[in-house]
Amino acid sequence: MASIFTRIIEGEIPGRIIWSDDQCIVMLDIRPLHPGHCLVIPRAEVDHWLDLDPSLASHLMQVSHILGQAQKSVIDCQRVGLLIAGFEVPHTHLHVVPLQGMENLDFRTAETSPRADRLDAMAEVLRGALRQSGHGANVPD
């Protein structure tokens, strides 16, 4: 059975996608640890990140780096964190999270019911930052 991420990638389920290329997508997390929390997800449905082809793992890291720079440019945060946990969905995904402190990496404090209009607005802000930094070809409308 396809993972929820594969179903979003294939358009069966909606997602706030802010980046798309032939190897991965980036979307806002619907249970953000901090506003602007995004997931970098390979199109290939690989459960554990250690099983990724090294070239795909490298690409995901490059996209995470681009995303983190965009987040830092438009979100008031001390740092941007990167986390690969793999317990929530059996499909590799990198959490790229704007941080004020370590407490922003505690999944027990995730926002469980964020307002859709705030998520939509954040998606637009991040798309704009990615376009501004020269990555418009990978930013969906």
First to last CA, the chain: 29
Bridge partners (DSSP) listed for residue 81: 97
**pLDDT at residue 1, as a whole number:** 79
In a domain, residue 92? The reply is yes
In a domain, residue 23? The reply is yes
In a domain, residue 141? The reply is no
Catalytic residue flag (residue 93)? yes
The pTM (predicted TM-score) of the whole model is 0.96
In a domain, residue 62? The reply is yes
Which candidate in 34, 59, 93, 135 is catalytic? 93
**pLDDT at residue 95, as a whole number:** 98
Q: Alpha helix locations (H) across the chain? A: 4-9, 54-74, 116-130
DSSP letter at 92? Answer: -
Write the CATH number for 28: 3.30.428.10
- Can you list the residues of the chain whose pLDDT is less than 50? none
- The number of domains in the chain is 1
